[in-house]
Structure 1
Amino acid sequence: MQADLKRRIAKLRAQTQQRKGAARGRPSFHVDKEGAGQIVMVGAPNVGKSTVLRALTNAQPEIADYPFTTRVPLPGMMTYENIQVQLVDLPPITVEFSEGWLFAIIRTADAAALVVDLSTDDLLVQTEQVQSVLGQAKLAIAAAAGEPNEKRGLVVANKLDAPGAAARLVLLREFLGDRLPVFPVSATYGTGVEELRRALFEVLGVIRVYSKPPGRKADTSTPFILRRGATVLDAAEAIHKDFVARLKYARLWGQDEYQGQMVGRDHVLEDGDVLELHA
């Protein structure tokens, strides 16, 4: 079985090398970013991307058993606690043909979710196919994006309810190793969806910080969204640009050791921190 898989993957790579670019004159698409971040959903035909989108958001994509149901990018807003994250279902990626604009959308997104199908024995071949085509477009999905062409992401292993899915999940994790984290779900029945919701938030690499005016309660309904690793000074700039020059000190409520203590401008913030700025 392993030898057969290697032959099929080698053949697939050869086909990918011969793949031609999209024809000129075709329509192009762009999706404006909304919410705390934009995550694109990519995958082979019929892996269930649209079903995952519907399970996580308010979007109502067309869902059918035949391939290429999704022909244009379809965004939906996923609620995670007190914020919204934008998910974008993209047309399928194949060796034979993929629209050029599809890669442009992936390139500008904040993160990517590679959706795969646990119901098929072609699981590993399909996964390799998508990764190979992305590679031809000088793109890659990685657990920790360290290179300019890498997009931070994860794998959504859909159709966990299918016969034989558990065994295929083991093979998938062995195949990917530590390259990408895998989150098994059944989008149809809701299994694993809440765990996936949190994972999608975390893959964005952002934190929520709340502003507390002196002498008043913090507004925890509308957080400021900052990149992970952001400092007090970064938060001050996000809250109001005038704070950057006039900031005297800040008080922080967050982890157990911070209950209103003064912190410096370079203090690194954590998700859920409450910040009181004094100018």
Structure 2
Amino acid sequence: MSVEEQIKDIEEELARTKHNKATEHHIGTLRGKLAKLKEEQIKRSSKSKGEGYGVKKEGDRTAVIVGFPSVGKSTLLNKLTNAESKVAAYEFTTITAIPGMMEYNNTRIQLVDLPGIIEEASQGRGGGKQIMSVARNADLILIVLDATKPQHLAVIKKELYDAGLRLDVEKPNVMIKKLSKGGINISFTKTLTKTSEETIKALLREFRLSNAEVIVRSDISESEMIDAILANRHYVSSLVVVNKVDIAKPRIPNAMFISAEKGKGLNLLKQKIWEKLDVVRIYPREPGKEIIKSKPLIARNGITAGDVAKKIRIKEFRYAKIWGSSAKFQGQKIGEQHKLCDKDIITFY
């Protein structure tokens, strides 16, 4: 039996099996087998010939634009950046990845227009492997929909999920240490409500982890445990952008509604992209000198003074002073663990 046939059989069995306490363990085992087969399928298709898009990451952060063909991705890229992505009113216009640079709040955000994805893109159909490879390296996924086809959202999310992308969720807090002997030893810091210890052990054995020390620090499901075992998932934020709202306006929660062609809603979209990237602007300042407001250090939200010192290659410092919203008072003396906020000014001594 082929891998594809095995996958189909398991998916059919999962579909007809009701989830309850009696079937919980069996369902978990089936999901483990299914994930293992899909990984095998992905690895096999990745070995087939075909070049990647080779997009060089530039700027402070990267966001990729994904969607079905002819939803207006190229028009959107051209409106938001200085890129020249070919635009036409027929499908499959973009046949390679087109990058462009959007500048907002002194942050250089690289936007990449990817070829339109289709069903089974995660399995390699329609150049899906190359598309997903670029998407896995992004800091933000922009899902662009045609306002007249809101049903495409579920398809796109499924393809991204099957390709190993986890949108808008935290990485499971699980530590797995392989051992040479001793069996499986699991400790929990949270009560499990979505699965059981027996199911977790069965999943570990399914992936040939018969000897391991495991610490589970979150209330995880079977799927999340599989992700933790495989350890090859990409956790990333996403933003749904509904284009062509001059034609229709479907109800999609938390989406941005625009008309790329008419320029409607683009300023608000730029702001939302910047917010979704969850970055802060930090201004390192040498003692006695002025800051350059047009050249902040762009960093992840939650960065500490010590992190900033490493980024600007300051090996040692006795203390630092800050001015900005993270300071109790302006010019506060701080240590390396102090967390900085957007627009903070910091000087090291």
TM range (shorter): 0.7 to 0.9
Q: What are the equivalent positions in structure 2 for 1:12-161 lying under 5 Å apart?
A: 24-95=48-119, 97-99=125-127, 100-118=129-147, 120=148, 122-124=149-151, 126-142=152-168, 144-146=169-171, 148-161=233-246
What residue is the counterpart of 2:299 in the other structure? 226
The 3-state SS of whatever aligns with 2:126 is: coil
Superposed CA RMSD in Å reads 2.3
The 3-state SS of whatever aligns with 1:87 is: strand
What residue is the counterpart of 1:4 in the other structure? none
Q: Is the 8 A contact 1:73 1:90 kept in 2?
A: yes
1:58–1:277 Cα change, 3 Å: same
Q: Is the 8 A contact 1:131 1:140 kept in 2?
A: no
2:103 maps to amino acid: T
1:104–1:269 Cα change, 3 Å: same
Q: Is the 8 A contact 1:211 1:219 kept in 2?
A: no
What residue is the counterpart of 2:332 in the other structure? 261
CA shift, 1:145, in A, is 4.5
Identity %: 36
Q: What are the equivalent positions in structure 2 for 1:157-168 lying under 5 Å apart?
A: 157-162=242-247, 164-165=248-249, 168=250
Please give the alpha-carbon distance, in whole angstroms, between the structure 1 residues aligned to 2:292 and 2:261. 36
Task: Tell me the alpha carbon deviations over residues 38-83 of structure 1, each in whole angstroms, 9 at most, x when there is no partner.
Answer: 1111011111111111111001111111011111000000010322
1:248 maps to amino acid: R
- Unaligned stretches of 5+ residues in structure 1: 1-13, 174-180
Q: What are the equivalent positions in structure 2 for 1:175-190 lying under 5 Å apart?
A: 181-190=254-263
**Alignment pair present for 1:213 and 2:286:** yes
Query: TM-score of the superposition, structure 1-length normalised?
Result: 0.81
1:69 maps to amino acid: T
1:150–1:78 Cα change, 3 Å: same
Please give the alpha-carbon distance, in whole angstroms, between the structure 2 residues aligned to 1:262 and 1:22. 53
Please give the alpha-carbon distance, in whole angstroms, between the structure 2 residues aligned to 1:77 and 1:194. 15
Q: Quick one: which of 219, 234, 247 aligns to 2:317? A: 247
1:213 maps to amino acid: E
Please give the alpha-carbon distance, in whole angstroms, between the structure 2 residues aligned to 1:101 and 1:39. 16
Q: Is the 8 A contact 2:107 2:298 kept in 1?
A: no
Q: Quick one: which of 237, 246, 250 aligns to 2:310? A: 237
Q: Is the 8 A contact 1:145 1:152 kept in 2?
A: no
Please give the alpha-carbon distance, in whole angstroms, between the structure 2 residues aligned to 1:93 and 1:140. 17
The 3-state SS of whatever aligns with 1:108 is: coil
Higher gyration radius (CA):
2
Please give the alpha-carbon distance, in whole angstroms, between the structure 1 residues aligned to 2:106 and 2:54. 27
1:62–1:267 Cα change, 3 Å: same
